[in-house]
Amino acid sequence: MGWPNEFEMPAIPQNAGDLIPHLKIVGGVLVAYFILTRLFSYISILRQVRGLPTQHAFLAAYELGLRTRAPHIPWLLPVKSYYSVPEFERFDKAGSDLLAYTVATEHRAVYFTANPQTAAHLYTKSSDFGKAAFMRRYRSARKFGSNIIAAADGAEHKQHKAIVRGCFGEAIFQRAWEGMSDIVDLMLKEEGVVDGGILKDATFCLIGQVGFGQEVPWNIPETKPGDPMPFLEAMEVIDQSLLYQFMLPGWLMKLIPTDKFKRFGQSQVDFVRYCYQMVREKRAELGITQEADSKPPTDLLGALVYHQMAAENQARSEKGTGQDQVGLTEGEVFSNMFMFLLAGHETTGHTLAFTLAYLALNPQWQEECYNEIREHCGDEAPAYHHVHKLALCHAAGLEALRMRDIVRILAKAAVRDTTIPYTTWDKEGNVTHRQHPVKAGSIIFTDQGAAQRNPFHWDDPNTYNPRRHLSVTADGDARTGVKNNSKNPPFIAFSLGQRQCIGRRFAEVEMVVFLAKIMSRYTIHPVPLHPGESRESIEHRMLDTGTEDLTLIPGKFSIRLEKRA
């Protein structure tokens, strides 16, 4: 049926008004159907969580960045019930290490566990639990394309891992050691503390060097607003505004009329442009040299491009030319690189800041680490070949991560109807181990901080004790791995199983060299805000004033380095 002529609107039938009551009925039925299905779904969720301490809400707000910022509105948006300070408190009060949350606008049951054994079960039993790739946090992480962190389990993840795995080998770890060693020297020099002094809120920019193969100066000059930024400045600004970078496109931030957002937007636009250019240049460079010298580059970007090209070459030699895309697209290479920037920089930098805080507050562990360094390095500066020997320095970082887990919550989704183990206890000290049935599609969060301070699994959980991460091998060497703790809990800060942190060793190498270099030369001390500030107040400032963003960002504090004689 066409219109009589292109400028003439079809006439409204005279009896159209008669249809209105019918339309109202249809509309009413649809609305009633919508409300009823939601109601039934909600009732079904209430049934699923029966028997567990449960918090009801209308809207969901358990994500980082939201739960500590949104206003607490009982029943509607009860954000304060999604976390507690101290972390284990909400579970302690409930007498259960599994809590349920029913959210009227979410069609699935949501659980939080604080049991490290349950967490290990969730992370490793891939037939029952998988990456909750449908969640907003992972959808936002796909902003520049699919990547290893956001990929769904199965083929998509395998495709990324096949290429990304090649980036984490011995040569890169050694480069990470050397890069971090240079950064410590640069930091001490630029902050004017080579002979000791006060180190103010230092951040660490290792990923620039080992990530992109670029020397990173300690202070990066600021470009005039509106001007294109050089690569290093763009990277630094991105790093300081990661939450916004994930949520908003660069062009949109540039339209927001504040200098801050214009800068954030400009950094994203420039950073994306530089990265694509660098990927192309790397491809051209490696295309020429790959035949003659088959060693992969030791920067992450170079290694990523190299392994992608190696996959393409292999496919070409096996199947001839003209086959489909192999490995990752150019956009996916960039997206993975962007993830390294997030996963590789924030996490390690924040963990190191907390480790310095714990060491400053617990000088006895500095002495133990110092003795270890002296024993294995003697008068030599700590070097990469010492990395396996410096187990206590390594454990000092792991213990800070246990007590101040920077990832905060990790989500898994049940992929089929199954059960999860949990524990309840009462005031008389009766502890019962139970199983709770969960339906496919339910989300189970591990409250990492609470799980790592769960007193049923960790001896004396609120005490900083790196030695709990050490075991002694048959030949008398110390090794990390939670053994020195009567209940042998799994260490979950890097997750476990197929989706565990692929950069764990990289991060650990960075931590060991940083801590060993500092502790071999200095003792570390807290800096009171005013004469007579109490120990309690100093501890609170250094450890408890962090804010949740994409990860836990430590509050600002200074430390004093005193040169060892």
Interface with ligand HEM includes 501 (CB under 6 A)? yes
Residue (96 or 399) nearer to ligand HEM, CB? 399
Segments of 81-159 assigned E as strands: 98-103, 110-113, 129-131
Nearest-approach distance from CB 271 to ligand HEM, in angstroms: 17
Contact 167, 300 (CB under 8 A): yes
Nearest residue to the partner ligand HEM, using Cβ: 503
Residue (45 or 242) nearer to ligand HEM, CB? 242
| SS3 category, 130 | strand
Nearest-approach distance from CB 127 to ligand HEM, in angstroms: 17
For ligand HEM, which residue of 110, 149, 184, 552 counts as binding (CB under 6 A)? 149
Nearest-approach distance from CB 446 to ligand HEM, in angstroms: 9
Per-residue contact track with ligand HEM, 90 to 129, x per CB under 6 A?
Answer: ----------------------------------------
* Distance between CA atoms of residues 104 and 118, nearest Å: 26
Nearest-approach distance from CB 410 to ligand HEM, in angstroms: 6
Scan for tokens 């290990």, then name that residue: 120
For the four alpha carbons of 62, 66, 69 and 74, in that order, the dihedral sign comes to negative
Interface with ligand HEM includes 177 (CB under 6 A)? no
Nearest-approach distance from CB 489 to ligand HEM, in angstroms: 16
Interface with ligand HEM includes 410 (CB under 6 A)? yes
Find the binding residues for ligand HEM in span 12-71 (CB under 6 A). none
Choose one: 243-251, 380-388, 500-508, 520-528; the region binding ligand HEM (CB under 6 A).
500-508
* Distance between CA atoms of residues 171 and 177, nearest Å: 10
Residues in a beta bridge with 413: 130, 443
Nearest-approach distance from CB 502 to ligand HEM, in angstroms: 4
* Distance between CA atoms of residues 491 and 401, nearest Å: 10
* Distance between CA atoms of residues 406 and 100, nearest Å: 23
**Residues found in the chain:** 565
Would you say 275 is a known binding-site residue? no
Interface with ligand HEM includes 304 (CB under 6 A)? no
* Distance between CA atoms of residues 145 and 332, nearest Å: 5
Check whether the bond before 86 is cis (ω within 30° of 0): yes
DSSP string, 184-247: HHHHHHHTT-TTSEEEES----HIIIIIHS----SSPPPPPTTSPPPHHHHHHHHHHTHHHHHH
- Dihedral pair phi/psi, residue 431, rounded to 5°: -110, 130
Interface with ligand HEM includes 495 (CB under 6 A)? yes
Residue (344 or 526) nearer to ligand HEM, CB? 344
For ligand HEM, which residue of 466, 503, 526, 554 counts as binding (CB under 6 A)? 503
Nearest-approach distance from CB 556 to ligand HEM, in angstroms: 20
Residue (445 or 494) nearer to ligand HEM, CB? 494
Choose one: 30-38, 217-225, 227-235, 495-503; the region binding ligand HEM (CB under 6 A).
495-503
Choose one: 46-54, 76-84, 103-111, 499-507; the region binding ligand HEM (CB under 6 A).
499-507
For ligand HEM, which residue of 264, 274, 334, 494 counts as binding (CB under 6 A)? 494
| SS3 category, 546 | coil
For the four alpha carbons of 29, 31, 32 and 36, in that order, the dihedral sign comes to positive
* Distance between CA atoms of residues 348 and 407, nearest Å: 11
Find the binding residues for ligand HEM in span 327-356 (CB under 6 A). 339-340, 343-344, 347-348, 351
Residue ranges of the alpha helices (H) in 390-467?
A: 391-403, 448-451
Report how many residues bind ligand HEM under the rule CB under 6 A. 23
Residue (80 or 129) nearer to ligand HEM, CB? 129
- Dihedral pair phi/psi, residue 478, rounded to 5°: -80, 140
Residue (52 or 333) nearer to ligand HEM, CB? 333
Nearest-approach distance from CB 302 to ligand HEM, in angstroms: 14
Residue (67 or 376) nearer to ligand HEM, CB? 67
* Distance between CA atoms of residues 472 and 484, nearest Å: 9
Nearest-approach distance from CB 517 to ligand HEM, in angstroms: 18
Nearest-5° Cα angle at 470, 164 to 364:
115
For the four alpha carbons of 402, 403, 408 and 410, in that order, the dihedral sign comes to positive
Residue (229 or 407) nearer to ligand HEM, CB? 407
Interface with ligand HEM includes 493 (CB under 6 A)? yes
Of 183, 130, 42, the C-alpha closest to 416 is 130
Of 353, 345, 304, the C-alpha closest to 208 is 345
For ligand HEM, which residue of 125, 142, 143, 161 counts as binding (CB under 6 A)? 161
Nearest-approach distance from CB 286 to ligand HEM, in angstroms: 20
For ligand HEM, which residue of 502, 550, 552, 561 counts as binding (CB under 6 A)? 502
Choose one: 80-88, 380-388, 403-411, 532-540; the region binding ligand HEM (CB under 6 A).
403-411
Of 480, 454, 477, the C-alpha closest to 467 is 480
For ligand HEM, which residue of 144, 506, 514, 557 counts as binding (CB under 6 A)? 506
Choose one: 51-59, 371-379, 402-410, 483-491; the region binding ligand HEM (CB under 6 A).
402-410
CA distances from 158 to 152, 327, 543 (A): 9, 10, 38
Binding-site ranges for ligand HEM (CB under 6 A)? 148-149, 161, 339-340, 343-344, 347-348, 351, 401, 406-407, 410, 493-495, 499, 501-503, 506-507
The annotation places the binding site at: 501
Q: Would you list which residues are annotated within the binding site for heme? A: 501
